[in-house]
Structures are given as C-alpha cells and as structure tokens.
Structure 1
Amino acid sequence: MKKLIDSEVRWGVLGVGNVCEVKSAPAMNLIPNSKLVAVMRRDEAKVKDYAQRHGVSKWYTSAQDLIQDPEVNAIYIATPPNAHLELTKLAAEAGKPVYVEKPMARNHAECLQMIQVCEEAQVPLYVAYYRRALPHFVKIKELLDAGAIGEIRTVHIHMRQVLVPDIIAKMEYNWRVDPEIAGGGYFYDLASHQLDLLDFFFGKITQASGFATNQGGAYQAEDLVVGSFVFERGILGTGTWCFSTSQLAEKDEIIIDGSKGQIRFATFGKGEFTLSHDFEEPLHFSNDLPKHIQQPLIQSIVQDLLGEGTCPSTGISGARTNWVMEELTKKMV
C-alpha cells in the first residue's frame, strides 16, 4: 500500500453545515493520526461559531484560503453537490486528497471531471458513502460472499416517505429538492445511499432503466421513481421510490433473494437485518451504530492515506451511482 501522508492526516473542511455537527467532522479528532485543524463557511458568524463550539483552531470564509493553508493536508468537501466539482479542482490543484459528500456531484459528467482532475494531480478521491463501512452492512456483505443465502437471484428496493411539512407549506428553502443544486430531489439524496450500497454488495450495475415524475407538486424535482437494473454478475433488481406518500405507506426496506434464503434490512434505520431460510426461524442481527456515523469510513480513509489500509468508497465507485440514478430518471412522465 502506498503511503500518501507521512504521519498525521490534518483535515480542512469546506462547508461546515448540519452534516458536520455530529455525523462527520467531529470523528476526525477521535481517529488515531487524524486531526481537524481548519473549517470554512462563507458566513463568518456561523463558521466562527462552529470553530469555537468544536474546538477548531482555524476558520476561514474563503475555500481557497483554507485549501492553501500549509497545515491542512486533506480536504473534506461538505457543501451541496453543485460546488463539488469546483472545490475538488481547487483541492486537487493544491495536491491535497479529497473526501467529498454524497451524492458525488449533480450528474455523471461532473463525476468524471472530478475523477480526471484528481488522477492528473495524483491525489485520491473518496466519497461519503459511509454505509459501506458500517458494521451491519459489512456483515451482510460477508454473509452474501460466503453464500449464506445461496446464489443471489433478485434485489428489491422499497422507499416511501411522506412529504416533508416545510416543503408542503413552502415556508423554507431546501436545496435537496433543487435540481440545479442537488442534481435531483430526495431520490438523489437518499436512493444514492441504497444504490451505492448494492454496488458495494454486488459490484457494478451495467444496465438501468426507469420512469420518474412529480405527483406531489411541492417542488420542482422528481418525487416518484420506479426502475429496474442489472448487475454485471447477472443479478436483477427493481426499485420504487416515492416521496409523496401517506404515513400508512411509509417504508424503507431492501430485500435480497437468493436460491437458499433471503436478507431484509432498512437502509436508514438501526443497525439491524434479518436472514431467513425456508422452514427455519429467521435470524436477527443487530449492531450499534456509531455516534458519528461517518467515523468508520473516515478511519478507512486515514488508514488508506497512511498506507495502512484501503477505503471502500472512491470516486470511481461514487461515479457509478450517479450514472445509475441518471439512467433511472431519464424518462420523465
């Protein structure tokens, strides 16, 4: 394994919003040989407040100033997707490894540009699909690889949510449902995790097709997507995502069917899943989720940069998820 950083990964974070309060950035100070040294946000009052509350010694209102800080040797881009490409270019040009939030970008073309600039600068590019490193999903992959449910036949994603109240009332702007910023709506925000997780389990999806529409009318982006997809291993999959359903219909479940059994789990729930075989009692597995949900993945990045391990979520894999989402939403009806 190639060592890219000598002894300590010193993080600079661009865009310290909600995701940096608990999910990600605080973990950087809990991982051996890792330290959060600088944060950036355009709003001076907010970035200064974040730095003071989290004990960060340096804060900036300019992304370029943080990237050029000689103490910072790795960049975490925690902004909305519309800024990912530009900020990745700046970080790569400065020769600093990049960890970028998901979805990787607004579209597949931007993802490819991000990969290219990082390859040209010879810096690694990681994407915050942190479910690849959570213990219960790692356990599912181990069971699947060991043939616990036999040969995999089909995969089915069911995702249904009610309209978020502030969106219904249109009282508050939400960038997650603005395609110009996010690339799409909640499908891009949430389904990206599910599709990436299946990529982690089974490898690349080579074919995908679907239909997308907006039935709720609360915002511009799609709120209903149905589709099917094929993995390079020949496994077939389907998905239904609806973000304007009733409370009675709410659901978050992925079902993996094999020749000898089945695995069921929620993507966004507790660290639990169920394994079933014919004529046997189901087996329930449970793992505690970490307080800082991205900590296991960030730890794998630190180990990768120090030449001590490998990170399972890269720009290459992250771009594949964007490609699948585009294929599933090409046909708007």
Structure 2
Amino acid sequence: MESINWGIIGCGDVTEVKSGPAFNNVRGSALVAVMRRDAEKAADYARRHNVPTWYTDADALINDPAVNAVYVATPPDSHADYTIRALRAGKPVYVEKPMALNAVECGAMNRISRETGVPLFVAFYRRALPYFLKVKELVDSGAIGPIRHVSTQLNWPPADRELGLAPQANWRVTPAVSGGGLFHDLAAHQFDFLEFLLGPIQTARGFARNQAGLYEADDMVVAAFTFASGVVGTGSWCFTVNPEQRLEQTTLVGARGTITFSFFENFVITVTTRSGTEILTVPFPDHVQQPLIESVVAALQGRGTCPSTGETGLRASLILDWITAG
C-alpha cells in the first residue's frame, strides 16, 4: 500500500487524544473517515478532527473505497464482528484492547485473518512506548541480573460512574460488553507487556470475586502465574479501596536487584542494586498510541514490523480467561 487511509469504527473517548490524531501524524498515513451510531457525535468528531467523511453505519465505512485500513475502537463486545467484516472486505484492521470478549473470539478473528491473508493488529501500545522499552532494555541488558519473580499490585478506588454518581454508567464493569470488569480492561495491558518482556506465560491461576457489590463484574482478583523461562509471578487487583489506599506498581525481582515501574500512574522507573538506587523518568508522548501506529503503518507498507498482532493479542485474553476461570 502507498498511503494507509484509515477509517475509525467507534470514535469515542479513546480516539480523542490517545489514538485518533496519531493517524494523521504518522508518515504515509491519513484519517479519512469515522463512524459512530450517533450522527451528531460522528459529525462533531469529524469536524473537530478535520476528517472529511463520517458515517453512522459500519458497513458503509468498511466499504468506502477511500478507506483501505480500519481501526476498531468500540467496546470489546463488537470487536470480533467489526474486525471480521473488515478483514473479509480486504481491509487490514487495528483493533482496540482487549482484543475481544474472550480468547475464543480472538481465535476466530485470527482464523479469518489467516484465511483472507489480511493483517490484524491489536492496540497494545505499551510494546512501542519509550517508557516500557526502557524497562525492557534494562532487563535485557542484565541491569538486575536474571529475573526471578515479578509482582504486580493495583489498588484503586471506584470512580463516580461506578458509584452511580455520574450520568453515564461504566461499560467496562458490564461483562457482556467488556468481557469482565476493570481487571479485564487493565490487566490485559499488563500481561501483554509482561509476555513481551519475559516471554510466554505458561500457566496462570487465580480467583475473581465481587466483594463490594457495586456492579456486576468482579472487583477483586488475585493470581499466580509462571513463565516458560522459569520466572514466577503474582498479582492482585482491587478496585474498591479508599482513595488514600491507591497504589499501582510492578516490581521485577532479579538476582542482583529490583526494577519497579508503573503501568498506568507515572513515568518513573526505579532501579535498585548494591550500587544504590537510580530513578529514571521517561514521559509518555502526547498521543500514546502513535509509536505503535507508526509500526502498523510501516508493516502495511512493507518497510517494518509491528510487535502487536492478532496472535500476540490473543495471548492476553487467554491469560485473563485462565485467571478468572477460578
């Protein structure tokens, strides 16, 4: 392909800053159409982002001859449907994470990609962000020696919309729409990057519970997991603590030190060895998905590769399924 002309299905919040503007910032890429079922919101998005065409029907966007690649940015319950439609129309797809409601749906998406020969990519953008590439560089260079253990902890208070104090409910805690709860939404990023960092996770077991009864989905998850390399890991995710208890960090324990970093809260990486403690700060770019989108465009134009494909994206959903099955 010469120019990658994107159409977005579902131009909601995630596309406002994180991803949408990046399509026009990347060399050889342009955002030419958007779709949202609400005509007023679709038109408003197109006007504000200087997009020439907007639709209220997904098939109209997919079949637009000006569109040769599709970004699916809807909630997960429609990821498989829209992705498969686009792939069958011969349009490469970049789909939001989690890739789908579960690993079975992810497998169906990958099967159609293989059958049609049309590429499929997943928006696990931490694989391309400088902050996380710095963590990988530290691990790969042996800064703390061979990794023995990884521990991740996330304690967050409920948001107003989860407490019924906001006008809109949070679809992320409706399992029929999101595939689970906030664990599915956030831990998908964590497990995807941990596999990118440390290799495949071989086993994962856990327990998911709804303790506070604020919504249908689980609000407390604990897990243990092992990597094929021999590294072991543990994690806990609680979404109903007081604001004063808020904590989000991941620690890599190596033979000669530790690396502590954050998936969501800050730009700081702390490296501790016998020599002392070093604190590194690596800010995120303005549009966090742009580095990954650059790699998608490069792959489609035959001048590079993308680290996040449908095959790697399935892995995160499979691990979530393993853990919540308990």
The equivalent residue for 1:122 is 117
CA contact (8 A) 1:223 1:243 kept: yes
C-alpha separation between the residues in 2 aligned to 1:67 and 1:314?
Answer: 20
More displaced, 162-171 or 204-213? Answer: 162-171
- Aligned partner of 1:272 among 262, 268, 286: 268
C-alpha separation between the residues in 1 aligned to 2:85 and 2:209?
Answer: 36
The equivalent residue for 1:140 is 135
Query: Offset of 1:114 from its aligned partner?
Result: 0.6
16 and 68 in structure 1: CA distance in 2 versus 1, 3 angstrom threshold: same
The equivalent residue for 1:323 is 318
C-alpha separation between the residues in 2 aligned to 1:328 and 1:201?
Answer: 20
Residue 198, structure 1, aligned to residue 194, structure 2: yes
- Aligned partner of 2:105 among 82, 103, 110: 110
The equivalent residue for 1:291 is 286
- Aligned partner of 1:260 among 253, 256, 267: 256
The equivalent residue for 2:13 is 18
The equivalent residue for 2:39 is 44
Give the secondary-structure state (helix, strand or coil) at the position aligned to 1:59: strand
The equivalent residue for 2:59 is 64
Give the secondary-structure state (helix, strand or coil) at the position aligned to 1:275: strand
More displaced, 138-147 or 209-218? Answer: 138-147
CA contact (8 A) 1:11 1:28 kept: yes
Gaps of 5+ in 1: none
Residue 295 of structure 1 aligns with an amino acid whose one-letter code is Q
Residue 78, structure 1, aligned to residue 73, structure 2: yes
Give me the TM-score of the superposition, normalised by structure 1.
0.96
- Aligned partner of 1:300 among 262, 286, 295: 295
C-alpha separation between the residues in 1 aligned to 2:165 and 2:114?
Answer: 42
CA contact (8 A) 1:170 1:218 kept: no
The equivalent residue for 1:54 is 49
Residue 104 of structure 1 aligns with an amino acid whose one-letter code is M
Residue 152, structure 1, aligned to residue 147, structure 2: yes
Give the secondary-structure state (helix, strand or coil) at the position aligned to 2:21: helix
- Aligned partner of 1:216 among 208, 212, 218: 212
> How many equivalent residue pairs?
325
The equivalent residue for 2:229 is 233
Query: Offset of 1:269 from its aligned partner?
Result: 2.4
Give the secondary-structure state (helix, strand or coil) at the position aligned to 1:25: coil
Give the secondary-structure state (helix, strand or coil) at the position aligned to 2:276: coil
Gaps of 5+ in 2: none
CA contact (8 A) 1:185 1:223 kept: yes
Root-mean-square deviation (Å) = 1.0
Identity fraction in percent: 48
- Aligned partner of 2:245 among 249, 272, 293: 249
Residue 83 of structure 2 aligns with an amino acid whose one-letter code is T
C-alpha separation between the residues in 2 aligned to 1:237 and 1:140?
Answer: 17
The equivalent residue for 2:170 is 174
Residue 192 of structure 1 aligns with an amino acid whose one-letter code is A
Give the secondary-structure state (helix, strand or coil) at the position aligned to 1:188: helix
More displaced, 248-257 or 75-84? Answer: 248-257
Superimposed CA distance per residue, residues 7-42 of structure 1 (whole angstroms, 9 cap, x where no aligned partner)? 211101000000111110111101111100000001
More displaced, 225-234 or 163-172? Answer: 163-172
Query: Offset of 1:170 from its aligned partner?
Result: 5.9
- Aligned partner of 1:187 among 183, 189, 195: 183
The equivalent residue for 1:314 is 309
C-alpha separation between the residues in 1 aligned to 2:10 and 2:201?
Answer: 31
Give me the TM-score of the superposition, normalised by structure 2.
0.98
The equivalent residue for 2:90 is 95
Superimposed CA distance per residue, residues 194-243 of structure 1 (whole angstroms, 9 cap, x where no aligned partner)? 11110110111110000110011100000000010011111100000000
